[in-house]
Structure 1
Amino acid sequence: MSPKEISLALDSLWVILSAVLVIGMQAGFALLEAGSTRMKNSGHVAGKQILSFAIASLAFWAAGFAITFGTGNSFIGTEGWFLKEGKGTFDSLAWANIPLSIKFLFQLGFAGVSLAIAWGGFAERAKLSVYFIFGTIFTIAIYPVIGHWVWGGGWLGTMGMQDFAGSTVVHLQGAIAALVATVLLGPRIGKFNKDKTPNVIPGHNQVYTVIGGFILWVGWFGFNAGSTMAVGDGFFGYVALTTNLAAAAGAIAAIVTAKIIVGKADIPAMVNGVLAALVAITAACAFVEPWAAVVIGAVAGSFTFWTSVYFERKGIDDPIYAFSVHGIAGIIGTISTGFFASPRLVEITGIGKAGLVYGGGFHQLIVQTVGVLGAMAYVAFVSFIILFVLKKTIGLRVTAEQEISGLDISEHGSYGYPEQLDPAFIHSSKTATP
């Protein structure tokens, strides 16, 4: 094999392995969300991850990938439907020397993660039919538009916005959709008292939450380091380093912050601190020095816990804390490069300019802020329109009786834990003869 062929083979292998890691994050979300919600909804919450990824796979193949990366204008791609490749169709990804099929699978993982984040705001009270409709529209008309703006040759990319692996493109988008859903659905039954003080609705299995969080931590190496789409210069190792340092700082900062604010070293808070730090470093991993990665991770982990408490006290019932973990941290991470982008790393990546700390002035900070505000406005507006129409037509929320009995039984006809929750199963077990 020639050196060029060897390079192609290695790059292709690396990116397909990274795609598997990113797609495998769906298992992490399944455990994290099921563990963080009640037993009566566990099967539903876990199972919707398979449904979600199946919907995303078909919708992204048919149209989402083309709108994100296809040749078009500054706002959307207009070519490449059903992965039909022509001359110059996917020039925005021409910098990566791997087959289009592998590029698609890798980017599909990102779209699937963004949709999984959005579902956090729907948890424990949304109709199953809403997942089909909103999931399809999100993957075609919401996620790809911001993706094109930043990564597909759109106006934010032209401005030099630094979002290496998607703090805004992936995480902030999903978080804004989750927040809109949370507001339109309203709180779960029993979450708030008449005086509007919140009640704690604990998840049923902290072990699942921890394992899910760790699976996501590992998957993030594919998410961030895989975004180099190459192995030749070894830069993917540097990206993995900053990613891991941020996650570690987020874990410690979050559990310390929880101890200070609520007096307990809260385990779910620690897990969310890891995730928030990973969300934040996702934009910055290729642009900042290791010390800055630690700062970014610690700030995200700490601030995310505080905002989750704050929003709950303001009457927002976000069961998985999707907006705090992925939204607030996504904003922090995207804005952070405006302060901490290193001149040497900007030169390596060729994207944007150095940050304020290095004497780069306010230019990059302004670009990052415009990107965040533009993405938030678009996603919030389109998500609200879609969900408002669904609310007024088929309805967003299951009935009170269905919510109380649990979505496992009301939507799927069986419990995830039949021994604990199904009276008929318990009765038959007691009366059965050996």
Structure 2
Amino acid sequence: MLKKIPSTAMVAVLFALPAAAQEASAEAAPAVNADVAFIFNTLLFLIGGFLVMWMAAGFAMLEAGLVRSKNVTTQLFKNISLFAIAGIMFWLIGYNLMYPSDGWTIPNVIGQIFSPKSIDPVGAGDAAAGYSAGSDFFFQLMFCATTASIVSGTLAERIKLWPFMIFTVILTGLIYPIEASWEWGEGWLDQRGFSDFAGSTLVHAAGGFAALAGAVVLGPRLGKYRADGRMQPMPGSNLALATLGTFILWLGWFGFNGGSQLALGSVNDAADVSRIFVNTNAAASAGVVAAIVTTQLMFGKIDLTMVLNGALAGLVAITAEPLAPSIFGSLLIGAVGGVIAVVVVPLLDKLKIDDVVGAIPVHLCAGIWGTLIVPASNGDASYSVQALGVIAIGAFVFVLSYAIWMILNATMGIRVSEEAEITGLDVSEMGMEAYPDFVQAK
């Protein structure tokens, strides 16, 4: 007779199979030259940063494909402008706030805000850290920009440009760096054992909470919800672009998760980065398959847009812990993320929360799932602390974002006029169209 396996042991088998292999490889790892480690660690930051920067193109293509043709130019503009704003604000304020050198005292925080950090040639601090300060700054900046990209898609097709850019200044300069410092800046959540390897909550759910607050204040697009309560579909302009954007994001995610290992200077680090790549890809694949099956069962037909979001939800879900799970565990984590990406959409419609690209199900909801499931594979994490982190970050980002959106709405208005929305933001906000009419010359 087979011996019954305890449920906790079964979870460990499903989610954390590579643990023994990791311990064995750690014992056999040879010593590494410090200069060589410095070079490879720095290279990992730079290559990871390149890939995450490429995700900005993925967000732009995804959103351009999922909005209607009359709003494509505006959406493209928002993506390049938010990236540039993040690049300046994270240097000016955010980087210092995220990594406060002397702790979170009021005088120190004020000093950090008004003393942008210089990225100098290699110094003693760089050598001790094992990588260059410039490479670290560049890599962390890309995460900051990603958080703002999440907000862009949700609020598409009805928000004014200037209020959006003002909010982006505050999000990238203050909100994101402060909440991210709670974990990655050795803040209070880190001290309690909160674990978010590459940012399922710190980046993705945070962006989702900011987007949710904006969507509540902004309201749905005209005609999205009928008087009888039914939802009016508003198909995107170009599913080819949306699919291309998804593949670009999938590629960039290897830098997002792999670079978050923060080291490539040893045999063990190289093995861990490769394991992260495999688990990241497995979760995305499972998210796609789960979304295919779920849309078929729920709607009777496969929905490509939800399948694309299934891939992204799988990626978001595995981001909180892409190293510790087994491949099978990564498949389970990603599959649940894919299901979440589908089932949350009709729930939002019932609440009349209009999310144009599905960023709230993908980044907020799948991000929460990925963060909460971390202890299943990482024995150093606890479910209660993970839940505490999600609640604290969610409350901080949502409440502050909601207040800022309300202030912007009261002072300058955040929504375009009804006429401008009907005409399209490309004409009303930008004065140019992504797909101008072509008149054949006679």
Q: TM-score, normalised by structure 2?
A: 0.87
Equivalent position of 2:245 in the other structure: 212
1:374 to 386, 392, 397: 392
Per-residue deviation, residues 69-111 of structure 1 (Å, max 9, x unmatched): 122435997365322479xxx99x9985211111011000000
Unmatched tracts of structure 2, length 5 or more? 1-31
CA–CA distance in structure 2, aligned partners of residues 42 and 298 of structure 1:
31
**Is 1:38 matched with 2:75?**
no
2:299 to 258, 262, 268: 262
2:366 to 329, 338, 347: 329
CA–CA distance in structure 2, aligned partners of residues 138 and 261 of structure 1:
36
CA–CA distance in structure 1, aligned partners of residues 128 and 324 of structure 2:
18
> Pairwise CA RMSD of aligned residues?
2.1
Equivalent position of 2:412 in the other structure: 394
Equivalent position of 1:112 in the other structure: 145
8 A contact 2:69–2:434 mirrored in 1: yes
Deviates more, 1:208-217 or 1:6-15: 6-15
**Is 1:365 matched with 2:395?**
no
Equivalent position of 2:11 in the other structure: none
Per-residue deviation, residues 1-23 of structure 1 (Å, max 9, x unmatched): x9322221122122101100001
- Structure 2 letter corresponding to 1:414: M
1:318 to 337, 355, 358: 355
Equivalent position of 1:52 in the other structure: 82
CA–CA distance in structure 2, aligned partners of residues 122 and 249 of structure 1:
28
CA–CA distance in structure 1, aligned partners of residues 147 and 84 of structure 2:
14
Equivalent position of 2:116 in the other structure: 82
CA–CA distance in structure 1, aligned partners of residues 400 and 153 of structure 2:
18
CA–CA distance in structure 2, aligned partners of residues 212 and 393 of structure 1:
35
Which structure would you say has the larger RCO, counting Cα contacts within 8 Å and 6 or more residues apart? 2
What is the correspondence of 1:62-77 to structure 2 with a 5 Å cutoff?
62-73=92-103
CA–CA distance in structure 2, aligned partners of residues 94 and 372 of structure 1:
34
- Structure 2 letter corresponding to 1:325: V
Equivalent position of 1:179 in the other structure: 212
Matched position secondary structure for 1:151: coil
Q: 1:410 to 1:247 in 2, by over 3 A?
A: same
Per-residue deviation, residues 233-290 of structure 1 (Å, max 9, x unmatched): 2111111111111111000001110000011111111110010010010001123222
- Structure 1 letter corresponding to 2:323: A
CA–CA distance in structure 2, aligned partners of residues 72 and 258 of structure 1:
51
Per-residue deviation, residues 131-154 of structure 1 (Å, max 9, x unmatched): 221000011221011110011010
Equivalent position of 1:239 in the other structure: 276
**Is 1:412 matched with 2:430?**
yes
Equivalent position of 2:263 in the other structure: 230
Q: CA deviation at 1:65?
A: 0.7
Unmatched tracts of structure 1, length 5 or more? 344-352, 355-363, 420-425
CA–CA distance in structure 2, aligned partners of residues 323 and 220 of structure 1:
18
8 A contact 2:34–2:130 mirrored in 1: no
Matched position secondary structure for 1:150: coil
Q: 1:29 to 1:159 in 2, by over 3 A?
A: same
8 A contact 2:62–2:242 mirrored in 1: yes
8 A contact 2:45–2:259 mirrored in 1: yes
Aligned length: 401
Matched position secondary structure for 1:146: helix
Matched position secondary structure for 2:223: coil
8 A contact 2:250–2:312 mirrored in 1: yes
8 A contact 1:166–1:283 mirrored in 2: yes
Per-residue deviation, residues 365-406 of structure 1 (Å, max 9, x unmatched): 001000000000000110011100000010010111111111
CA–CA distance in structure 2, aligned partners of residues 326 and 409 of structure 1:
30
**Is 1:121 matched with 2:154?**
yes
CA–CA distance in structure 1, aligned partners of residues 248 and 406 of structure 2:
34
Q: 1:104 to 1:136 in 2, by over 3 A?
A: same
CA–CA distance in structure 2, aligned partners of residues 72 and 397 of structure 1:
41
Q: CA deviation at 1:30?
A: 0.5
Q: 1:94 to 1:409 in 2, by over 3 A?
A: farther
CA–CA distance in structure 2, aligned partners of residues 94 and 371 of structure 1:
32
CA–CA distance in structure 1, aligned partners of residues 402 and 76 of structure 2:
25
Matched position secondary structure for 1:284: coil
8 A contact 1:75–1:154 mirrored in 2: no
Matched position secondary structure for 2:373: helix
Equivalent position of 1:26 in the other structure: 56
Equivalent position of 1:303 in the other structure: 340
CA–CA distance in structure 2, aligned partners of residues 300 and 390 of structure 1:
33
Per-residue deviation, residues 284-336 of structure 1 (Å, max 9, x unmatched): 11232222111110011012210112211321111111111100000000001
- Structure 2 letter corresponding to 1:141: L
CA–CA distance in structure 1, aligned partners of residues 368 and 128 of structure 2:
27
CA–CA distance in structure 2, aligned partners of residues 337 and 14 of structure 1:
24
Q: TM-score, normalised by structure 1?
A: 0.89
